[in-house]
Amino acid sequence: MKRLTSLLVVLLLMTSFAYSQMSKTGLNQDAKYAEQVDSVLALMTLEEKIGQLNQLSGDGEVTGPISLNNESQEAIRKGHVGSMLNINSSSYTRKIQKIAVEETRLGIPLIFGYDVIHGYKTIFPVPLGESASWDLEAIEKSARVAAVEATAAGQHWTFAPMVDIARDPRWGRIMEGAGEDPYLGSEVAKARVRGFQGADLEKKNTMVACAKHFVAYGAARAGRDYNTVDMSKRKLHEVYLPPFEAAVEAGVGTFMTSFNELNGVPVTGSKKHVKGILRDDWNYDGLIVSDWGSVMEQVVHGSAKDLKEAADYAMNATVDMDMEGHAYLPHMKELVEEGKVTEEQIDAAVRRILHKKFELGLFDNPYRYSDEELEKEVTLTDEHRQLSRDVARKSMVLLKNDNNILPMNAEVKKVAIIGPLADAKREMIGTWSAQGEAKHVVTLLEGVKNALPDAEINYVKACEVEDSDKSGFDKAMQAAKEADFVIAAVGEKAMMSGEALSRMDIGLPGVQEDLVLELAELDKPMAVVLFNGRPLVLTEVDKAAPAILESWLPGTEAGNAIADVLLGKYNPSGKLTATFPYSVGQVPIFYAHKHTGRPRTEARYTSKYIDGPNEPLYPFGYGLSYTDFDYRDLSLSNAELTTDGTLKVSVQVKNAGDMEGEEVVQFYVRDLEASVTRPVKELKGFKKIALKPGEKKTVEFTLTPEDLAFYNRDWEWTTEPGTVKVFVGGDSQNTLEAEFDLKE
């Protein structure tokens, strides 16, 4: 074995020499690794190649002895594993890597993957919350911090960003994405890829990103996770695919296929979607991994008769790696022997995997990311906590603020903090919180105490999040009566959004709504602070409470960030990226709907509910500020736009209040005359600007015909002449309007 390892070393030295020569000649990155990859591939048996396609999960333990079960360790030794997920900490990854490097015939290092979704140890707001900041720089920084901490702990590869569009708040995983809109979703996808991967994957503090879950997973029927999806080609291409394509443009290193079937075929085995769209249409040549067991689940879906057929479908769809599916390893050799899969296909998949390992520098030093000293140094630093606090406050959305109850007066003497989430550390970091720990979290109670050291703070939990016991209400009412200001901290627990956490009733769980309504009856200055990973139905809360702040699941610095907003140290600027329904019966509800042939009027036979409004409670793009922004002078540079032209759309925004603030200026269009129906509004641009009191800024957007292109009746990507409306405003409903003629 030693001899073979030295042979490999010699080969690698030769190829790194070849590389240094190549870089001088300016050959591109891929060519640079291609020779190295081939040099390793040439040494591998078919069995070893198939081993590389296999990804197993560890036990996720950080401390203590290696508890990775013997079977998995043995599989690594046999060269049957190319990657592990859920192996945490620098010391643990080092130990497991050692098995692959020292005890396998060729010593090929493992690539470690992990769900680093919204932070590693320093936890940031859940992604839906972050997206509500509309601040791409902040979102990128958050992913950067996550990568810095995770890579020092030995992780190479994050299974993020999730770029699934979600228009059904019952689906628990709406929390992991950027909401309902494909344009915003694409911008956020790119920012997050940039953040994780940085400019150079060879750097020790950058990690490979993974665009997931390809595709249409967010459209699970009835919002129930893993449910089936039946979707038109138009909807797929216009709504669900764009963020994935954006991720390819941003250079995302890997993709993950989804659990769901799409129009009868599980996507993991769908050649039409995975190979057809991703590889052939988009020229994506990176690594594709299945979701956990999704190769195997084709059998459970009922579309593959056994594991072997499942492996056949997935490999022919060009899924390179089988995550915990246990289908490739036992069956791939047989499939090759039977000619159902060619060795060239296996080689292509192995190349893509080895390529990542070379890019990450693992062949030079398989342990380069497992650095205990660095892990201590860069994890949960003050700087990272500050960034998390800043992103958290930027993510918060002020939903209601009657009579400018907020910001609170800093001179307030007595504050009552009521509710089951006021001092609930674990709940603040949500699910997929990687190595985040409750003990590091600042709760709302702690944050307000930090911010108001001289005030008397009276905390009453009042009830649990979920049960029906109201025995704590009396004490809560008493505390509220005696207070000058009441803060009600209510919402969902961490484990109420995320994977396999769909809900059919998306109101406040348990008796929390009753708590808010009873508190509101006291007619005290009061703010409801919400914690949740999805849009909720807040219709009754909205009627009763004078002020509502949506804080999402804000992460490690939750309480400090909330206190910054409540006390006006930060003027809220977040805007919703997913519609908050008036009633769950409106779901799926989203701003970019079609007009219908009978749009709602008072007339009898029009598209409406007889027992409630069509409109949501809070629309997409909505969010208040402590100041007012005036929009005026919407103007177009031209009355028409020609095929090779551009149109400038500008608007003047003024801070008409007396506090400095930031505003997300949103730009929408509507194609009024097309051969196919178009949405009533489509986001085409946004800018987040800061304005001092009285300050005005002219905000400009540029529109080209490509921005207005769509698939026409004959499925040609084109524009069509006719009138187009433009809308600019601070949310998707409240806008100034103008129109122009799109020329052929």
Nearest to 259 by CA among 179, 346, 173: 173
- Using a 10 angstrom Cβ sphere, with 0-12 exposed, 13-18 middle and 19 or more buried, the burial of residue 597 is exposed
Is 291 a known active-site residue? yes
Q: Which of 135, 168, 291, 320 is catalytic?
A: 291
Residues contacting 690, CB < 8 A, separation 6+: 660, 661, 662
Q: How far is CA 685 from the centre of its chain?
A: 19
Nearest distance in Å: CB 243, ligand NOJ: 15
Nearest distance in Å: CB 558, ligand NOJ: 24
Angle (deg, nearest 10), helices 558-566 and 444-451: 50
CA 123, CA 453: separation in Å to the nearest integer?
Answer: 26
CA 59, CA 88: separation in Å to the nearest integer?
Answer: 9
Structure letter (DSSP) for residue 384: H
**Entry field: residues in the chain:** 744
Nearest distance in Å: CB 209, ligand NOJ: 12
Residue nearest to ligand NOJ (CB): 159
Indicate the residue among 213 and 688 with the shorter CB distance to ligand NOJ.
213
Q: Determine contact, residues 549/527, Cβ cutoff 8 Å.
A: yes
Residue 197 backbone phi and psi in degrees, to 5: -85, -20
Verify cis geometry, omega within 30 degrees of 0, for the bond prior to 546.
no
Q: Please give the residue ranges that form the binding site for ligand NOJ (CB under 6 A).
A: 85, 115, 159, 212, 291-292, 499
String of b and e for 248-287 (b: at least 16 CB within 10 Å)?
bebebbbbbbbbbbbbebbbbbbbebbbebbbeeeebebb
Nearest distance in Å: CB 501, ligand NOJ: 12
Indicate the residue among 209 and 424 with the shorter CB distance to ligand NOJ.
209
Nearest distance in Å: CB 91, ligand NOJ: 21
Nearest distance in Å: CB 292, ligand NOJ: 4
Indicate the residue among 323 and 530 with the shorter CB distance to ligand NOJ.
323
Nearest distance in Å: CB 40, ligand NOJ: 27
How far separated are the first and last CA of the chain, in Å rounded?
A: 69
- Using a 10 angstrom Cβ sphere, with 0-12 exposed, 13-18 middle and 19 or more buried, the burial of residue 330 is middle
Q: Return the SS3 of 214.
A: strand
Indicate the residue among 85 and 295 with the shorter CB distance to ligand NOJ.
85
- Residues annotated as catalytic are 291
